[in-house]
Amino acid sequence: MIKLAIIAPSFFSYIEAIRDEFRKKGIECDIYDERHSNSILSKISYRLRLSIVTKKKKDTYYKGLIQSINCGSYTDVLLVGTEVIDKSHLKKIKKSGAKVHIYMWDSVKNKPNYLDYLHELFGKSSFEIKDCNTYHMKYIPLFAEDLFSIPCDHQKNKRFIDISFCGTLHTHRSLYLYKLQQVSNQLNLKIEFLLYFHSKILFFIKALFNPKDMYFLNKITTKGFSKKYVAKSMRRSKFVFDIHHKNQNGLTARTFEALRSGACLITYNKNIYTLPDDLHDRCVFIEKIEDIKKINFSAFTETAPLSNNQDYYLSISRFVNELIDLMGYNSKRYTKKNE
């Protein structure tokens, strides 16, 4: 029997969803946060590697975390998108006898720390195809949770939003969305933005160096959106606009959520062509915002229902099954009866 510990940063309840899916398949699974604190200061300190700020609290926290892992009788430990754990922590975790695996939900450009101990790991995987090819890892695409799946009566759900976007306003996104707003005004399109940033004060400071950010200052929320609300937004949208991080090439979770909701996807990411043909046919690749003018929004009709194979490919069930295989087990033993 598998008993699994997941060590990961906390972000938008995705890790909880993965844990719950393992549990649905009959696998005992617990989560341990890799950060001692999720305060803004702590996150910034870890990202900028300001060890002088975090070292004492980090060492105390990891002493307890590793003790919990060692006492938990886990057969396997899965690191997901980690950036805080270092090689010394990993070696202490391995002393418990558990096999340790990794799934990177980020690129090496953003989180390179794990390269120091990659050779120590059993299962190695990432959502970033380039990193997988370079570092001999298994490519496992991301997923959409079941609540994004199209309801049986989806044809009754009129898609009255032409383009929607949901995401954190990091890096260059404000510039793209500002241009999208201008093009939408020209085409008389109905758009919906669900915009998040963790602090309005920090966003204001960011806007001082990026004037286009200021346009969105009063449009952002610091509380985030429930996944149920995001799914509802996508199901009333004809197209979902996705902007991947400039240092990433992997297909985002938003890609899978949009497609599983029945919407079409607009993206700059050429990796949509790695999707099965019948899914990337639902995507529109653009090189610049003005390319959106080529889309005939008035001629849009509801997309065809997803087949069982399409829905499974986009699902969290497929994602977790691939992780089970990565860990050296047979996922067919843990497949839910309704799959």
> 286-315: per-residue pLDDT in tens?
999 999 999 998 888 778 889 999 999 999
Q: How confident is the model at residue 79 (pLDDT cuts 50, 70, 90)?
A: very high
Mean pLDDT across the chain:
90
What is the structure's pLDDT at 338?
41
Rounded to the nearest angstrom, the gap between the alpha carbon of residue 206 and the centroid of all alpha carbons in its chain is 23
Q: What is the pLDDT of residues 16-69, one digit of tens each?
A: 999 999 999 999 999 999 986 656 655 665 565 655 556 788 888 889 999 999
- pTM of the full predicted structure? 0.90
Is pLDDT above 70 for 319?
Answer: yes
Tens of pLDDT, residues 83-127: 889 899 999 999 989 999 999 999 999 899 999 999 999 999 999
- Residue 273 pLDDT > 50, yes or no? yes
- Of the listed ranges 71-85, 196-210, 266-280, 313-327, the least confidently predicted one is 196-210
Q: What is the pLDDT of residue 211?
A: 84
